[in-house]
């Protein structure tokens, strides 16, 4: 846990995703193992960094209801941050951790060079009565990716 404050179930899910990535995956850029680290909470747009080559990536965890469930979309973060990066043609690689019955099931990977504006769909801003009124997020539209993407990076060993 990054701090002593009570975490929401979504924050706990995100933390599980980040920990799963750093414990099970090597760096996609330099191929070093055990060099991925978590960035501080609320670091804009990135969650993971390689302390060998400086590679950064976003990590998202999602609960699935079926094993090996195909994902069509995934909730992102703040639209304003993502939109500014897209205007500058900056896309961060994406690790997706699927969680089944509370346990990490798979780690999938979407390289930055296969991402584009069509993959990011802005959500409706939160209503005036919401706690974070006006905040706007986005959705990753995974259906626009080429076949075979996201790539499977890890799944737990099968028990016999």
Kindly state the average pLDDT of the residues 126-133. 96
How many domains does the chain fold into? Answer: 1
Residue 159 lies inside a defined structural domain of this protein: no
**Residue 4 pLDDT:** 54
**1 pLDDT higher than 60:** no
Per the listing, tokens 């504006």 go with 117
Q: For 43-99, what is each residue's pLDDT tens digit?
A: 888 999 999 999 999 999 999 999 999 999 999 999 999 999 999 999 999 999 999
Maximum separation of any 2 CA atoms in the chain, in Å: 53
**155 pLDDT higher than 70:** yes
Q: The CATH number of the domain where 74 resides is what?
A: 3.40.210.30
Cα–Cα separations (whole angstroms), residue 117 to 63, 125, 144, 150: 25, 19, 10, 17
Q: Residue 35: which domain range?
A: 9-154
């Amino acid at each position: 846990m990054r701090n002593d404050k009570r975490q929401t179930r979504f924050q706990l899910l995100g933390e599980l995703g980040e920990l799963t990535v750093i414990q099970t995956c090597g760096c996609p850029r330099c191929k070093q193992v055990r060099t991925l680290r978590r960035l501080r909470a609320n670091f804009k747009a990135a969650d993971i960094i390689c302390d060998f080559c400086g590679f950064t990536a976003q990590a998202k965890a999602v609960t699935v209801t079926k094993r090996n469930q195909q994902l069509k979309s995934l909730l992102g973060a703040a639209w304003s941050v993502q939109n500014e990066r897209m205007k500058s043609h900056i896309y961060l690689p994406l690790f997706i951790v699927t969680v089944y019955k509370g346990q990490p099931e798979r780690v999938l990977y979407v390289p930055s060079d296969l991402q584009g504006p069509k993959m990011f769909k802005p959500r409706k801003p939160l209503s005036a009565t919401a706690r974070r009124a006006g905040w706007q997020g986005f959705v990753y539209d995974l259906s626009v990716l080429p076949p075979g993407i996201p790539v499977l990076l890890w799944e737990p060993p099968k028990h016999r």
